[in-house]
Amino acid sequence: MDRSDRIHGVTFAPFAAAETIFTDQAKNSLITAKKRLNINSVIFVPPGLQETPQSEEIEYGVNGLMRDDELRSMIDFAHEQDLRVFLKPTVNCKNGTWRAHISFFDEDVPCEPKWGNWFHSYADFQCHYAGIAEDEGCEMFIAGCEMVMSEHREKEWRETIGSIRREYKGSVSYNTDKYQEHNVKWWDAVDVISSSGYYPINDWETQLDRIEKVVKAYDKPFFFAETGCMSVRGSEEIPNDWNLKGKTDPEAQAQWYEAMFSATVRRPWVMGTVIWSWGADINEDTKNGPDYEIYGKSAEKIIAEYYAK
């Protein structure tokens, strides 16, 4: 993808279960997102699951997880709406542990789970969806998200990216977590650098200064593959904390989005943003929820205005 291709996107129905992402309800929701937000891109997130952070096997497309046929159909539908489609297969743990904590001993130990076995399963997971991305003409493939404790395994990641490229011929990225952009040492293996932009409302300039050094060092395009803030009082200071509880405060969410866009649009090397998130089922409850959803909230208008520019 060329650096001039601005990305005005939204993550749609992340980790959708089977019979969720391709329904009349979901299709209408995506049409609504395009109309109300002025998006030109959408990220779909096929889910993979492993039992715990130390499990070696990843399952996908089974046991109620998103099916290939419905994913393919939704990709086709998004393209019919003149939306670019980025595919980001993402693994999570069934026990609720955040995927960033997936980790194993650096030295192989008998009778203990091993990095090699896990990466073999992870590459299989990624390559399956890379094949779908190639078949369906997706505009970008993002090789996972926020796998922080694995990122130092440079050799395995380079091999995984190489395997993906044998299946998919388009632009390849990887979505690292906030504050981790400078820690990934294999950015040269991908075409586009991306990260999760969940930075405190008053910390954007400092973090963008830091990220800019990475982008210039590798001379790669960059965008925020995720960015967002909950409509909960205090989330504007810790937007990465999805467990935050408090009073519903859509204005705090809106102020955070204003600050984020105000900072990022002044940096020409930021190709754009993908908002987290927009659901397959949007309704009155969505408007009043204390979560990352932006449908019907004050933040929605701010996003639409910046995307229209």
Q: How far apart are the first and last CA of the chain?
A: 20
Given a cut of 90, whether residue 262 has pLDDT beyond it is: yes
Given a cut of 80, whether residue 133 has pLDDT beyond it is: yes
Q: Which residues pair with 47 in a beta bridge?
A: 90
**DSSP annotation of 114:** -
Given a cut of 80, whether residue 3 has pLDDT beyond it is: no
* 8 A C-beta contact, residue 11 and residue 47: no
pLDDT in tens, 73-127: 999 999 999 999 999 999 999 999 999 999 999 999 999 999 999 999 999 999 9
Instruction: Kindly give the residue spans of alpha helices, DSSP state H, lying in the chain.
Output: 24-37, 68-80, 115-136, 154-167, 204-218, 250-264, 284-288, 298-308
CA distance 288 to 27: 22
Closest CA to 297 of 265, 256, 241: 256
pTM here is 0.98
Given a cut of 80, whether residue 4 has pLDDT beyond it is: no
Given a cut of 90, whether residue 1 has pLDDT beyond it is: no
- Torsions phi, psi for 174 (to 5 deg): -145, 135
CA distance 84 to 140: 8
CA distance 120 to 108: 15
Higher pLDDT, 4 or 76: 76
Contacts 24+ apart (CB under 8 A), 286-292: 288/248, 289/231, 289/248, 290/230, 290/231, 290/232, 290/246, 290/248, 291/230, 291/231, 291/232, 291/242, 292/228, 292/229, 292/230, 292/242
CA distance 151 to 186: 9
How confident is the model at residue 284, as a pLDDT?
84
Radius of gyration of the chain (CA): 18
Closest CA to 185 of 154, 230, 163, 139: 154
How confident is the model at residue 227, as a pLDDT?
98
CA distance 135 to 199: 36
- Break the chain into its structural domains and give their ranges: 7-223
| Superfamily of chain region 7-223 | Glycosidases (3.20.20.80)
Q: Which residues pair with 9 in a beta bridge?
A: 41, 274
